[in-house]
Structure 1
Amino acid sequence: MAEIIAWVLVPVLYLAALSAYLVVVPALVLLRGLALAAELLWGHVRLLIGVVYRRTPEFRTLPPHRPQDEEVKAYRNYFFGPGFRDLRQMLTLERQAYARTTGDSFRAVTTGQFVAPARHRALTVPYGLTLYLGLCLGAVLAPPALAALLALHGLVLLLLSAGARLVAGTLRAVDRAVLWVRRLRGGMLCPHCFERVPYPAYDCPRTTCRRRHADIRPGTYGLFRRRCACGQGMPTLLMLMSRDARLHAYCVHPHCGKPMNTDAGHMPELVLPLIGGRAAGKTQLMAAMLLALENAASGGGPAFTLADDDSNANYQVLREVLRIRGHTLATQTALPRAHSFVLGTGRSERLVHLFDTAGERFVDRDGTDALRYARDARTFVFVLDPMSVKAFWTSLEPAPGPLLDRTLASTVDPEEVFGRSVQAVAAMDAPLKRSRLAVAISKTDLLAEHGLVPDRLDDSARARAWLSDGLGLRSLVQAMELDFQEVRYFCTAAVADENGQVDASIARFVGWCLRD
């Protein structure tokens, strides 16, 4: 009888307990579903931290990125590629984490409630089925939330990337505007190859690195700062480079690659070519011009600073030659390097390039074609040696006293030099009609000793008349005034006294040449 009662009572009690359990099933299902969803969402947070911040190997499953040449030298800005790569990484890892987490949860319920339960299956099976329902609910609730988070991530990344590109474009436009204000719309002049460089390449400032970065402007590799592969930061704008922190600039043309002036791009540039035949006195005149500027700076005039080591070394030699009243060596026929200096301070600061070219290039068409720097000049200097004119010697009458040393005269006819030079410069599309020409009549210190120059050395009209009537160069004078907008004539004496003071004619000549 007791057994019969047990067989009847136990099922009844079990069914009653099961019925009571069904009341709390929805709550259990909801709690388990929310727990799974919360676990998945927390996993998303951990993935976000791992992919974006920690960047350890377990958060890297995409194929390795193949860096471009410039990426070996600098780190890409996060919003110019790496951000979207991280988003793709998160999508891949999120799918894997979702499948792994839900799968592990179902397997844990199967093992703990069905395969190897700790209690009787009559108790664990209903609870296991409840957990199954909760896991199914969580598996359904989590994807929309995860998708919303990923979509929000993508939207924020897209907006920030668009903002970064807008900032980069604005900074580039501002930088370009500054270059226009500095009259560098065509770029900066390379003192070696004479090509205009839109933007120089710069070396990393760290002495142990020296990676060369081709374009440091705001963009893919940084907005306000570029981070070199060695970790060193670099400014991305010329306006962010202080005078003491300017980077070493290099020409970007593949056939050149030589160093440029560190002041390139930071101030307006002025190109001043010296044209003249062999031994006309160009190098001596250039040395006197530089010394006159240095003397003026020490006397309260515009500041004068040599722009690079090569210019400084050459100038020291030329200044010593002037001091001992010697004669400079003939200029080498190889393409010249500019003698560069910075004149003035503040807003009046300018980078001036003086070009002293071998006279042989002015009578050889192949040589003049290489003088590309002349197309950027708006003021030209034509050095005319009166002793190179045949009429000068034929007009001389025998006179007592020492005669002029004819070996100091240029052997090239000035009309030939001027004609070929103007043709070459015009072929380079230089606007001669809007340019000025300073005619420097050289070696007047020698001629003045014999009374062979006009009385008023500082008078342009007298110098012009002497060239036209005294030396028979009327056709040359007319050609000059026809080809150029403005022509000024100067009698110059490129000499200095024992105190290093240059002849007064040089100061007037330099002042006119460097006038804006």
Structure 2
Amino acid sequence: MSTRFGTPPAPARSGDGMPMGCGCVLGLIVLWVVAVLALPAIMLIGAFFVAYSLYAYLRRLASVMGVGPGADPKPVPPPPGRADGRAEPAYTHYLFGPALIDLRHAARVAVPAPAKLFVTYDAQIRRVFGNGGLLLWPFGIVVWLGMAAGVGTGLAAIGVLCVVQFAVVAVLALAVISAGQALRAVDSGVRRIRGIRTSCPSCHQRVPYPSYECPGKTCGRRHRDVRPGRYGVLRRRCACGTMLRTLLLTGTGDGRMTAHCPHCDEPMSRGAGTVPEIVIPVLGAATTGKTRLMTALVMGLVDGAGRDAGGADGARDPVAEFADDQSAEAYRGLADKLRAGVHTWKTIKVKDAPLRAYSLHVRPSSGRPRLLHVFDAPGEFVGRSELLRELRYIKTARTFLLTLDPLSIDAVWDSLDPGERARSGRLRSDAPPDFVFGQLVENIQGLGAQTGRARLAVALTKDDLVRGSEALAGLGGGSDEIRDWLEGPAGFDGMVRLMRRSFAEVRFFRTSAWLDGGEVDAGVLDLAGWILAGEGLRVRHPA
């Protein structure tokens, strides 16, 4: 019905039937609410996505490190089957390779995890809030801004975390390197203080550190340098999985691993490098009885009465045992001949074959043990300096053993009856003792041997053959008596003077390599006792 003011106009409506004014008001209210709550909401959402980004990174990092059900570690390259170049057949220490591999793998796999999270949630935000009209898109913007801020902050935090991880690995690697070098220095220093020098019993060269064969069953891989380094500090893992010790003084040289010379690859003695070594060159002309005397000397140490108490204080002689299989095998053949009373063969240098020492562990009743190397040099080496140069061990010897054949002394030979001379003719050395010794001193001094600081044991061998000689009648076994006899009736006063002038100490012995009732001659035991006593070992036969 109309009035006089006319029909009132109909109110304006929005497209969906809502009055336009109400929609604008509601929109303004929404914008006001969003504006008021935007900053707290963005901060809250951002904090959630920071935590979520770090969680995503750490979860992927754990998988890279091989932790958790979804473990996906980067495979570590296996070690080579044998030493090749600088590479050893051992697993590299984690900080010297695998750690960097894990860091690179983490950078490729774990670091992009937050970015992938952003892409995933960006698509979901667009789908949920973008289709909700003008009322929802402001909330979508707030959520998107919070996510972007959170993921960006998370990526920055992850970058810092990666830098910290790399720094920690670098610091630990430097610490391990420093520890390894320090342990090497301590190991070398302790060995130097203890007077431990290592030499090869085959090629006779100085060995700063042996190479070692893995003791694992069916392995046999050769590790050239097991000292602390990139393959381990206190232990290293062989390619077969066996753990190896890295320091001589903490168990590397305890005999469980076979040591090899890095120069000639020949096996070294058990315990090489862990105890001081005694080097005894046995020198003399051919057929002077070096091999038999050396065998008797070793027999006196290994099979003698050294295990019995001696003296009022109950002291025991040192106990000796072979330090390698080669020494034990060579000794058995010679000892059998000695016990059977037959002659031993002449020592011959086979071309390209090493002149290997008899190596024994000598353990005194108190004090530290020693590694004794007794070298039997062929007689033809004495007079030829070019051959004597092969005997590099002479430079490190502090005690020399010289054999003199009394049958080669004219006074003794002439005093034997024709029958004895006929029986002993093939056993006699035809080299004059004074000429041989003169050549010997000249040659070994030319090789750099410090004879002025060394001792010389002079052994008159074959005493069992010449005891009845008139030339030796009344001669006792004392060193002074033998020296006086050599200077007087024997006519070698010049040789004795040269001996005393060339060496710091000279001691003379009468010895026989023939067994008397299965027992080693007392002169041989006195000789062994004097040698060991001079090296600081307490014995009952100090001569």
Fold in common (TM above 0.5)? yes
What percent of counterpart residues are identical? 34
Selected match of 2:342 from 326, 336, 353: 326
The alpha carbon displacement at 1:365 in A equals 2.7
Instruction: Sort the Cα spacing of 1:402 and 1:430 in 2 relative to 1 into closer, same or farther, 3 A.
Output: closer
Instruction: Give the TM-score taking structure 2 as reference length.
Output: 0.85
Does 2:358 align with 1:339?
yes
Distance 1:363 1:489 in 2: 22
Contact 2:62 2:71 in 1 (8 A): no
Secondary structure of the residue aligned to 1:341 is strand
The alpha carbon displacement at 1:66 in A equals 9.6
Distance 1:65 1:412 in 2: 62
RMSD: 2.8
Q: Which residue of 1 aligns with 2:135?
A: 123
- 5+ unaligned residues in a row in structure 2: which ranges? 1-9, 310-316, 536-543
Does 2:377 align with 1:360?
no
Q: Which residue of 2 aligns with 1:37?
A: 50
State the AA in 2 paired with 1:356. Answer: D
Does 2:239 align with 1:229?
yes
Contact 1:59 1:93 in 2 (8 A): no
Selected match of 1:22 from 4, 28, 35: 35
- Between Structure 1 and Structure 2, which shows a larger proportion of helix residues? 1
Contact 1:363 1:416 in 2 (8 A): no
State the AA in 1 paired with 2:373. Answer: H
Instruction: Sort the Cα spacing of 1:496 and 1:269 in 2 relative to 1 into closer, same or farther, 3 A.
Output: same
Map 1:87-106 onto structure 2 (within 5 A).
87-106=103-122
Selected match of 1:483 from 475, 493, 502: 502
Q: Which residue of 2 aligns with 1:297?
A: 306
Q: Which residue of 2 aligns with 1:504?
A: 522
Q: Which residue of 1 aligns with 2:513?
A: 494
Contact 1:226 1:233 in 2 (8 A): yes
Q: Which residue of 2 aligns with 1:153?
A: 165
The alpha carbon displacement at 1:175 in A equals 1.5
Instruction: Sort the Cα spacing of 1:249 and 1:27 in 2 relative to 1 into closer, same or farther, 3 A.
Output: same
Does 2:86 align with 1:76?
no
Does 2:290 align with 1:282?
yes
Distance 2:28 2:500 in 1: 120
Q: Which residue of 1 aligns with 2:541?
A: none
Distance 2:416 2:512 in 1: 24
Selected match of 2:433 from 414, 418, 424: 414
Does 2:492 align with 1:473?
yes
Instruction: Sort the Cα spacing of 1:400 and 1:417 in 2 relative to 1 into closer, same or farther, 3 A.
Output: closer
Aligned positions, number: 505
Contact 1:457 1:505 in 2 (8 A): no
Contact 1:268 1:351 in 2 (8 A): yes
Distance 1:72 1:505 in 2: 51
Selected match of 1:315 from 331, 334, 337: 331
Contact 2:412 2:472 in 1 (8 A): no
The alpha carbon displacement at 1:252 in A equals 1.0
Moved more, 134-143 or 203-212: 134-143
The alpha carbon displacement at 1:477 in A equals 1.5
The alpha carbon displacement at 1:408 in A equals 0.8
Contact 1:221 1:227 in 2 (8 A): yes
Instruction: Sort the Cα spacing of 1:330 and 1:59 in 2 relative to 1 into closer, same or farther, 3 A.
Output: closer
Does 2:531 align with 1:513?
yes
Q: Which residue of 1 aligns with 2:539?
A: none
Contact 2:57 2:114 in 1 (8 A): no
State the AA in 2 paired with 1:377. Answer: A
Instruction: Sort the Cα spacing of 1:128 and 1:72 in 2 relative to 1 into closer, same or farther, 3 A.
Output: farther
Contact 1:296 1:302 in 2 (8 A): no
- 5+ unaligned residues in a row in structure 1: which ranges? none
For residues 341-382 of structure 1, the C-alpha deviation after alignment (integer angstroms, 9 at most, x for no partner) is 111246331110000121112223321111111111000001
Does 2:266 align with 1:246?
no
The alpha carbon displacement at 1:13 in A equals 1.9
The alpha carbon displacement at 1:276 in A equals 0.6
Secondary structure of the residue aligned to 1:274 is strand
Distance 2:420 2:156 in 1: 109
Instruction: Give the TM-score taking structure 1 as reference length.
Output: 0.90
Contact 1:444 1:453 in 2 (8 A): no
Secondary structure of the residue aligned to 1:297 is coil
Distance 1:78 1:399 in 2: 80
State the AA in 1 paired with 2:42. Answer: V
Selected match of 1:351 from 371, 374, 379: 371
Q: Which has the larger radius of gyration?
A: 2
Moved more, 2-11 or 370-379: 2-11
Instruction: Sort the Cα spacing of 1:343 and 1:101 in 2 relative to 1 into closer, same or farther, 3 A.
Output: same
For residues 226-262 of structure 1, the C-alpha deviation after alignment (integer angstroms, 9 at most, x for no partner) is 1112211111122332887631111111xx1111111
Contact 2:281 2:397 in 1 (8 A): yes
The alpha carbon displacement at 1:391 in A equals 5.4
Distance 2:260 2:150 in 1: 61
The alpha carbon displacement at 1:401 in A equals 7.5
